[in-house]
Amino acid sequence: MKLIITIEDPTNWIGVENAWWWEGTSPEVFLETKKIWIDTIKNLNDPDISIWFHQIDPNIHEDEIIIDYSNNMIKSYQKSNDRSLWLKRTISSFNAIDINFEYDFLLATTLGCFWQFDLLKIILEGLPKTGVYTGKINTNASFPYVAGSGKIFSRDVVKILLSQKEHMYNFREWWEDVEIGRFLITEGINAIDQDWMVNINDDNISNADTVIEDSYKRGIIHFRVKYSIDRLNVDPIILSKIKTYKMGLSSI
């Protein structure tokens, strides 16, 4: 079972005039959380798992894909990082992966997440190799869809998305993760819910240490950290704590 992880990396847009950022976000937070992922890649010892950052770049040719193997970086063209273009950003990363790599499953995630890949691999090995669209389901739309911070697809589903990308672009009505879920329903592919995610955010940040410990005891696989009040000074610390806790478990 081969798993490719693609992580949207907006750090090349820091300092760019008119770049889009979530309101109140200090974009420098992504430089700090990226360091945690770089360390994760450095210490990953599983030939079945490959992790790649993805950046959109307005300075390359529209059809160009750049793969920097030394930095685990994939670049594809997009004229801006505006939120309205995030579906195209996601699809362009899928296209780059599908053209250049062999895989059974593709995980699209973010710099603000931490995953227990050893446990994830066990679950994926028990799934069919086709028709898979899975992760933590959100129910705040009129249909279920997988939360954007951790979407997993089997390769055949990725190819369906790529083959119908223009259709999705032309009829854009929703946020990126919602759009993907809506479209796949029309293709007869329903989201498979996974109870493997915990959010550490404004609601529970004051109790983060307990949340982390309890989550590991429960077998949580996907941690997402987003403290909207002060992401730059808090998110990297919490992600480091999650990673450190995992390292402690691995040494037992």
CA dist 122 to 2, 3, 28, Å?
12, 12, 34
* Residue that the structure tokens 């750049």 belong to: 66
Q: How confident is the model at residue 251 (pLDDT cuts 50, 70, 90)?
A: very low
Q: How confident is the model at residue 169 (pLDDT cuts 50, 70, 90)?
A: confident
Residue 102 makes CB contacts below 8 A (sequence gap 6+) with 2
Average predicted confidence (pLDDT) for the chain: 94
Sign of CA dihedral 243, 155, 6, 44: positive
Whether residue 231 lies inside any domain: the answer is no
CATH number of the domain where residue 36 is located: 3.90.550.50
Whether residue 209 lies inside any domain: the answer is no
- What pTM was estimated for this model as a whole? 0.95
Whether residue 149 lies inside any domain: the answer is yes
> Each residue of 115-162: pLDDT tens digit?
999 999 999 999 999 999 999 999 888 899 999 999 999 999 999 999
Whether residue 235 lies inside any domain: the answer is no
Whether residue 107 lies inside any domain: the answer is yes
Question: What percentage of the chain carries pLDDT values higher than 70?
Answer: 97
> Each residue of 211-245: pLDDT tens digit?
999 999 999 999 999 999 999 999 999 999 999 99
Dihedrals phi, psi of 223, to nearest 5 degrees: -105, 130
Whether residue 241 lies inside any domain: the answer is no
> DSSP 3-state assignment of 181?
helix
Round to whole Å and give the CA distance between 181 and 225: 23
Q: What is the mean pLDDT of residues 79-97?
A: 92
Whether residue 29 lies inside any domain: the answer is yes
Q: Quick check: 249 pLDDT over 80?
A: no
pLDDT at 172: 66
Whether 58 and 80 have beta carbons less than 8 Å apart is answered as: yes
Whether residue 98 lies inside any domain: the answer is yes
Q: How confident is the model at residue 252 (pLDDT cuts 50, 70, 90)?
A: very low
Helix axis angle, 176-186 relative to 155-163, nearest 10°? 100
pLDDT at 139: 86
Q: What is the mean pLDDT of residues 170-179?
A: 78
Number of structural domains (the chain) is 1
Range of the domain at 179: 3-195
Q: Radius of gyration (Cα) for the chain, nearest Å? A: 17
